Amino acid sequence: MNQELWMAVDKYFSQAFLPSDAALDHALQASQAAGLPPHHVAPNQGKLLQLLAQIQGAKRILEIGTLGGYSTIWLARSVLPNGCVVTLEVNPQYADIATDNIDRAGLAEIVDIKVGKAIDSLRQLVKVGVEPFDVIFIDADKPSNPDYLHESLKLSRPGTVIIGDNVVREGEVANAACADPKVQGVRHFCELIALDPRLSATAIQTVGSKGYDGFAIARVLY
């Protein structure tokens, strides 16, 4: 088992299930050309996010970590009529690239990019009392995941689905002694989810073009 094989299988599934799409292709190309880090979800993972949002019947989606807007486009295309995606990004240059990518996808009306530290934007959303979100995708700086979970719960309703990306980190999540603050953030995140009686959750390991990683999924029960 190796990365080359995982890439080949991802390519096979992407070709089989994901017809090439001008707006998504452009978003990846423009992000790369602008020097953004290659931290976007893989195409088949973007489709999974979209399917989960559709299965959920999502109208309001919150994303923490926009980058070039690649996952945002998948999510924005999944919302019900008159739905929206609020996406949070700290880096104004990334937010500009994302804005352009989202415009080109014809989704400008659906997506609201809030530029600033996600924790500040989240607290502001809580403060103004926005309607709860149906899906929340947590995919920004991993050391802050525990704080993002805390605020996300205040922006949830019974039935909200919370998805956390990158919870495996090449298996380091199972290494309690790991000194990497990203790994510790993800471990604390998982522990908080597991201990919260309001949440029903699991986590899944993935391999593919993004290496060896995984995601956690939690459903808010009450």
Count the site residues for ligand DHB by CB under 6 A: 4
Q: Is 165 in the site for ligand DHB (CB under 6 A)?
A: yes
Minimum distance of ligand DHB from residue 139's CB (angstroms): 5
Minimum distance of ligand SAH from residue 90's CB (angstroms): 4
Minimum distance of ligand DHB from residue 39's CB (angstroms): 4
Query: Binder to ligand DHB among 10, 63, 139, 151 (CB under 6 A)?
Result: 139
What secondary structure, in 3-state letters, does the chain show? CCHHHHHHHHHHHHHHHCCCCHHHHHHHHHHHHCCCCCCCCCHHHHHHHHHHHHHHCCCEEEEECCCCCHHHHHHHCCCCCCCEEEEEECCHHHHHHHHHHHHHCCCCCCEEEEECCHHHHHHHHHHHCCCCCCEEEECCCHHHHHHHHHHHHHCCCCCCEEEEECCCHHHHHHCCCCCCHHHHHHHHHHHHHHHCCCEEEEEEEEEECCEEEEEEEEEECC
Minimum distance of Mg ion from residue 140's CB (angstroms): 8
Q: In what order do the strands lie in the sheet with 60-64?
A: 111-115, 84-89, 60-64, 135-138, 161-165, 211-220, 199-208
Q: Is 166 in the site for ligand DHB (CB under 6 A)?
A: yes
Minimum distance of ligand SAH from residue 39's CB (angstroms): 4
Nearer to ligand SAH, 29 or 200 (CB): 29
Minimum distance of ligand SAH from residue 165's CB (angstroms): 7
Quick one: what does residue 31 bind among Mg ion, ligand DHB, ligand SAH, none, with the CB cut-off 5 to 8 Å set by partner type?
A: none
Nearer to ligand SAH, 66 or 156 (CB): 66
Q: Is 139 in the site for Mg ion (CB under 5 A)?
A: yes
Distance of alpha carbon 75 from alpha carbon 91, whole angstroms = 20
Quick one: what does residue 117 bind among ligand DHB, Mg ion, ligand SAH, none, with the CB cut-off 5 to 8 Å set by partner type?
A: ligand SAH
Q: Which residues contact ligand SAH by CB under 6 A?
A: 39-41, 65-67, 70-71, 88-91, 94, 117-118, 139-141, 144
β-strand pairing of 135-138 with 161-165: parallel
Q: Is 143 in the site for ligand DHB (CB under 6 A)?
A: no
- Summarize as ranges the residues that interact with ligand DHB (CB under 6 A): 39, 139, 165-166
